[in-house]
Amino acid sequence: MCGRYLLSSALSDIIEEYELDYETTHIEKEINPRYNISPKSQIPIILDDSGKGKRNLKLMQWGVVFNEKYGLTFNVRSENLQSSPAWKNTFLHKRCLIPATGFIEWQELEGVKETLPWNIHKSNNEVFSLAGIWNFFPDKTTGKLELCAFIITTEANSMMRTIHNKGGNRFRQPVIIEKSNYAAWLNTDHNTPKTILPLLKQFSVEEFSYTPLEKVGDDIKGISPIPKDGIAKEKELSKKKNKIEEQSLF
């Protein structure tokens, strides 16, 4: 599950990362640094909407309420993409990249009431890409047809299993699309599971940095997250990770 993420890079860095055209890229709304992006807010996504390999940036709503009983849906399990009628056609024909500079998960600690938030990010806080799908969907709470994007998730790696260890969707992590696979992921000619599914890989532990937070960021006020004393926490997390791996051997 991915319920909060960050995008703190300048627009120029985003344009450069995705090789967008400075002159023709239409920005519907000013994109400022954001430090606690929540579901149902407007988010920038990258897609190929020309069918000719020409990338564009659009703003879409993150998630939608399909059923008032179950509430807001903003993530999609990679395991359900082929079997669910709601996602199958969208997955084959309407894929996107969701720029991010980090995502937040909360860890449940033994004997502690409050959960500990973690920022999972690249070592230099550079932009990376969450795998996404998009389409028009009716929102049951408003009755409106919304243009929405969803983040694809997969099973968590060993480090993420230690961090994301609470709730009904624990042990999950977002799928990250590597830069070398941007073109393949966005290519609308790739419309069979055989060509797309191999791109939905679990990112390795070493690809990201893991920073415990004293406080998460504030998206409205533009306040970035406040890190905790990371050294001790990183060591503590590493010990727990090693213990889990040892137990898995027996």
Which CATH number applies to 4-247? 3.90.1680.10
Which of 7-16, 89-98, 121-130 is predicted with the least confidence, judged by mean pLDDT?
Answer: 7-16
For the segment 40-90, what is each residue's pLDDT rounded down to a tens digit? 999 999 999 765 668 899 999 999 999 888 899 999 999 999 999 989 999
The answer to whether the beta carbons of residues 45 and 57 sit under 8 Å apart is yes
Type of residue at 192: T
Mean residue pLDDT of the chain comes to: 88
Comparing CA positions, the residue from 76, 89, 91 lying closest to residue 174 is 76
pLDDT at 242 over 80: no
Q: Reduced to 3 states, what is the DSSP secondary structure of residue 80?
A: helix
Matching residue, tokens 């008032």 = 68
* Neighbour-count burial of 144, counting CB atoms closer than 10 A to its CB (0-12 exposed, 13-18 middle, 19+ buried): exposed
The segment with the largest mean pLDDT, out of 22-26, 98-102, 192-196, is 98-102
pLDDT in tens, 2-38: 899 999 998 889 999 999 987 666 665 678 899 999 9
138/52 Cα distance (integer angstroms):
29
Domain spans of the chain, in order of start: 4-247
Question: Measuring CA to CA, which residue among 203, 199, 205, 207 is closest to residue 81?
Answer: 199
* Rounded Cα–Cα distance for residues 203 and 100 (Å): 15
Give the number of other CB atoms < 10 A from CB of residue 204: 11
